[in-house]
Amino acid sequence: MKQKFKVALMVTALLGMGLGAPLEAATAKKPTEQASKKVATKSAAKPVKKTAAKSVSPKTAATSHKSHGKATHAKKPTKTLHAAVETPKKSMRRVAMADMDPGRLALYSASALVIDQNTGHTVLEKQPDAVLPIASISKLMTAMVVLDAKLDLQEVIAIGDEDVDGLKGTRSRLPVGTTMTRETAMLLALMSSENRAAHSLGRHYPGGMRAFVQAMNRKAQALGMYHSSFEEPTGLSSNNVSTAHDLARMVTAAARYPEIRGFSTTAEAKVELNGRIAEFRNTNALVRSDNWEIGISKTGYISEAGRCLVMQARVADKPVVIVLLDSVGKMTRVGDANRIKRWMESASLALERRPV
């Protein structure tokens, strides 16, 4: 009997141990799972650091691949981080041409004007109504008066003693006695600003020089150039005066003449004079630049007028008239023109980038 009781106790003990082990294991597992859940919850709630959101450049990705031997490990975290962190988009301010302050432009011309030919609006101005000597810009008017008279451009004219500059003593590559067609004289006057050629055009006008100057002033009045006056066809006289506004009207009118457009923008030409070939170049270096699309060009200089430049050109996909008067320094007028071009292109680019 005692032996049976001992056996029963042993069986009970063994059963207790077998059932206790799973219970103990389950009890131990539960706290572990709870701890794991807490860690997971804490990790999910914790924000991702911004430094981890940096994109991986191709070079960095290649280095990670080389170090770990698995490209997927380098890519996955990057995608996850970019999805978790979004960089706020910067708002873009609308920019109009008026926002581009022309006052910030360092223009060294005493008077300046830029007109949008599509709208007629003033893009930029600086003392545009100042009455100033215009030097050889006068030759645009000279050419218009000759063409308006419908004179034979193939008629041969000669350089005479009267065409020699006795006012400023300027040089010329056209000796007295040189003969050329009226067309060639106009080309040299507009392209190379040849004073003797321009003077000869006026002298060979019906009625002579006096009639020619009267025709120049009548043309100016007809164009609405009410603050302009012409005394002779070359611009050597400081009494040939105008304003930037008046000259913008003159340039616009000159652009209607195919001959003036072609001659004034010719970069260089070889001309036969007295049986010899002479090469002439345009006084405006910008006509030789690939960065400019110029339809009309004329430079001018005498000491009273300073360096002058007028152009009809396409800038920032707009046809514009540019007038620059009394620039100081030999290259200042070209520098001012380039500064205006860059300013207009910057404004146009800003307009293209504005949000729709």
**pTM passes above 0.85:** no
Domain ranges of the chain: 103-353
Pick the CATH number of 103-353 from 3.40.710.10, 1.10.10.60, 3.30.420.40, 3.40.50.1110: 3.40.710.10
pLDDT, tens digit, 9 for 90 and up, residues 211-269: 999 999 999 999 999 999 999 999 999 999 999 999 999 999 999 999 999 999 999 99
User: How many other CB atoms sit within 10 Å of the CB of residue 267?
Assistant: 12
For the record, the structure tokens of 40 come out as 């997971």
Which of 111, 138, 172, 193 is labelled catalytic?
A: 193
pLDDT at 288: 95
User: How many other CB atoms sit within 10 Å of the CB of residue 295?
Assistant: 19
For the record, the structure tokens of 143 come out as 């050419």
pLDDT at 101: 54
pLDDT at 58: 36
Residues of the chain with pLDDT under 70: 1-104, 350-356
Across the strands, what pairs with 210? Answer: none
Residue 201: closest CA among 142, 161, 244: 142
- Any catalytic annotation for residue 289? no
Residues whose CB falls within 8 Å of the CB of residue 199, separated by 6 or more in sequence, listed in order:
162, 163, 232, 233, 234
CB 263 within 8 A of CB 186: yes
- What distance in Å separates the CA atoms of residue 60 and residue 152, rounded to the nearest whole number? 75
Residue 205: closest CA among 264, 142, 250: 142
User: How many other CB atoms sit within 10 Å of the CB of residue 320?
Assistant: 22
The DSSP output letter for 289 is -
pLDDT at 329: 85
Which of 136, 172, 200, 264 is labelled catalytic?
A: 136
The helices-and-strands tally (H runs, E runs) of the chain is 10, 11
pLDDT at 271: 96
SS3 (DSSP) at 299: strand
For the record, the structure tokens of 325 come out as 């008067």
What burial letters (b/e) apply to 330-345, b meaning 16+ CB within 10 Å? Answer: eebbbbbbeebbebbe
Task: For the chain, give the number of residues.
Answer: 356
What is the H or E stretch that residue 135 is in? none
Which of 139, 219, 298, 341 is labelled catalytic?
A: 139
- What distance in Å separates the CA atoms of residue 141 and residue 145, rounded to the nearest whole number? 6
- What distance in Å separates the CA atoms of residue 32 and residue 188, rounded to the nearest whole number? 99
CB 180 within 8 A of CB 156: yes
Residues whose CB falls within 8 Å of the CB of residue 216, separated by 6 or more in sequence, listed in order:
138, 141, 142, 145, 230, 233
- Any catalytic annotation for residue 54? no
- Any catalytic annotation for residue 139? yes
